[in-house]
């Protein structure tokens, strides 16, 4: 068999492309969880983003409006979650699950009119450079702006949490909302902001799916990616760089098992389809097994409601 270097480059690029929505949604959820809020509504926020982006693109024809519209839609739906959990002090888990169910339902309803409409082509950057370098060319060039943003995001997130004051405040609130409140930090405000940010990133992840990755609207097209994003956050022990690794492994195995199925490898299809989930979790568990580090990076107040009493 002749191995075509250019072909390998394309495969790696397609793996990276499939990792994009996971990275976006995970990095958003990571910030939310670092502030102590467990939002299980990622899947719902993603699908809302997907339909909003696609619908706005079809109706307005303007890609910028569509992308930002999708993020705004993510923000709006996460506001419901924020209002429930932070203002009305409801249970995080139940509210998040409700958000997902709500998102899937309402997106299917809005999406009725958009089924079967072809999407628009999304502009890519550095198209011309694609063939200049073997292997690296297709990996580095010819992708959408969202693609580049997604691969920068884990590093930005890491820098934000470690080096900036606001990042410090987010971690402090997640570690101990009581102490933070006693230090004069507005816990509710910080958590609202983190939830809305997570919503925006999930919305963007959804828009990437419906506008760039497979430019069309299919009901339930996120297909569980929101849940994978949630799992990535936990198994990466709230570390953005490990999210990147996990998303790449997951994306990689998904793509490779497609190819294996296509070639006709004699392994049961069910096993191949399950493989990405199993391997990703095993790898992340192995690279994150230092219990001291886990203790240091787990937001102590995760999923617990904070109620300030006077």
Partner 1 sequence: MNTNLKISNVTKIYPGCVANDNVSLEFNSGKIYALLGENGAGKSTLVKILSGVIIPDEGKIYLNENNLKLNSPLDAKKNDIGMVFQHFNLFETLSVFENLIIDSDEQRESLREKIDTIMKKYNFSIDLDIPVLNLSAGQKQKVEIIRCLIRNPKVLIMDEPTSVLTEQETSELFLSLKKFSEEGILIIYITHKLKEVMQLCDEVAVMRRGKLVSVSEIKNENIESLANKMVGQNLKTIKKKKAKTSSGQLIKISNLNFTSEDPFETNLVDINFSVNRGECLGIAGISGNGQSELFQVLSGEIISEKNSIEFNKNYIGDLNPQDRREYLMAFSPEDRLEQAAIPQMKIFENVALNNFKSSNFFNNGLINENKIKEHSKKIISDFNVNTDNIELKSQFLSGGNLQKLIIGRELITSPDLLICFNPTWGLDVGAINYIHETLIKINEQNKSIILISTDTDELLKLSDKISVIHKGKLSKIMSAEEVTSEKLGILMGGAN
Residue ranges binding partner 1 (CB under 8 A): 165, 168-169, 171-172, 175-176, 178-185, 295-298, 300, 310
Closest to 81 (Cα-Cα) out of 71, 93, 72:
93
Query: C-beta of 22: minimal distance to partner 1 in Å?
Result: 26
Minimal distance in Å, beta carbon 188 to partner 1?
A: 13
**Contact yes or no for 69/57 (Cβ under 8 A):** no
User: Of 132 and 300, which CB lies nearer to partner 1 in the complex structure?
Assistant: 300
- Closest separation in Å from C-beta 175 to partner 1: 4
- Which are the contacts of 234, defined by CB distance < 8 A and separation ≥ 6? none
Pick between residue 162 and residue 259 the one whose CB is nearest to partner 1: 162
CB of 31 to partner 1, least distance (A): 16
Rounded least distance, CB 195 to partner 1, Å: 20
Distance CA 261, CA 255 (A): 10
Residues 6 or more apart whose Cβ sits within 8 Å of residue 258: none
- We find the least distance from the C-beta atom of residue 168 to partner 1, in angstroms, to be 5
Residue (215 or 303) nearer to partner 1, CB: 303
Q: Which is nearer to partner 1, 182 or 261 (CB)?
A: 182
Q: Which is nearer to partner 1, 110 or 185 (CB)?
A: 185
Q: Which is nearer to partner 1, 4 or 178 (CB)?
A: 178
């Amino acid at each position: 068999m002749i191995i075509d270097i250019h072909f390998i480059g394309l495969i790696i690029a397609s793996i990276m492309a499939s990792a994009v929505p996971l990275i976006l949604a995970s990095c958003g959820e990571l910030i939310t969880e670092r502030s102590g809020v467990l939002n299980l509504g990622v899947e719902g926020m993603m699908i809302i983003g997907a339909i909003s982006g696609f619908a706005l693109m079809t109706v307005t024809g303007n890609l910028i409006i569509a992308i930002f519209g999708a993020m705004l839609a993510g923000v709006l739906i996460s506001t419901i979650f924020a209002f429930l959990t932070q203002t009305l002090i409801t249970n995080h888990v139940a509210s998040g699950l409700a958000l997902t169910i709500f998102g899937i339902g309402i997106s299917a309803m809005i999406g009725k009119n958009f089924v079967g409409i072809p999407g628009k082509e999304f502009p890519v950057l550095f198209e011309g450079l694609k063939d200049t370098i073997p292997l690296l060319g297709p990996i580095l060039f010819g992708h959408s702006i969202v693609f580049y943003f997604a691969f920068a995001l884990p590093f930005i997130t890491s820098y934000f949490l470690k080096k900036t004051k606001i990042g410090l405040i987010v971690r402090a609130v997640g570690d101990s909302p009581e102490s933070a409140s006693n230090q004069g930090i507005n816990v509710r405000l910080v958590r609202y902001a983190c939830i809305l940010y997570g919503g925006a990133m999930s919305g963007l992840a959804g828009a990437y799916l419906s506008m760039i990755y497979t430019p069309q609207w299919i009901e339930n097209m996120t297909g569980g990616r929101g849940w994978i994003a949630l799992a990535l956050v936990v198994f990466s022990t709230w570390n953005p760089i490990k999210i990147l690794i996990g998303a790449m492994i997951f994306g990689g195995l998904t793509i490779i098992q497609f190819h294996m199925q296509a070639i006709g490898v004699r392994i049961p299809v069910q096993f191949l389809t399950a493989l990405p989930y199993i391997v990703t979790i095993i790898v992340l568990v192995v690279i994150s097994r230092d219990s001291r580090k886990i203790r240091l990076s787990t937001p102590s107040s995760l999923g617990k409601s904070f109620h300030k009493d006077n």
